[in-house]
Structure 1
């Protein structure tokens, strides 16, 4: 999907520090506008996404677990992302920029 998408980001408990692609954007709950990088391919007549989106949620206090969400170039950007900070992240994520 080309174009910006408004995303609601929440966490349990509230107040998680949110970092998107290495940039601090605020604490939960918050709304952000995400837009995937890419280009329009004239031959294919389609928008080609070429940059994943990586979201980090860091606990407000030392108690809790960091959480991560990676949105690949093949996924649709969701309208709502919720992080449950009381549980360890389910699977490790390999990150490369």
Structure 2
């Protein structure tokens, strides 16, 4: 699932959000969200990822002893619809120029 999600992030050029459980040293599971955001390189295409994670419902000390990660779900990040600029006409002395 993670491999498919990362491939989709590169292909679509938009972040992928993973819902996961972090396995703690004592066996407890701590919920977390992870985002993998593609970054564009010099060619204009995504060629690397920036990954961030956020433990949910815990302070920073609780997330120090993570032993493993269990990914439960993935969803593409919502992106606003691409809107085209409204067409306008420019005129100089009554003559359209654009």
Same fold (TM over 0.5): no
Calculate the TM-score normalised by the size of structure 2.
Answer: 0.31
Calculate the TM-score normalised by the size of structure 1.
Answer: 0.31
Which structure has the larger Rg? 2
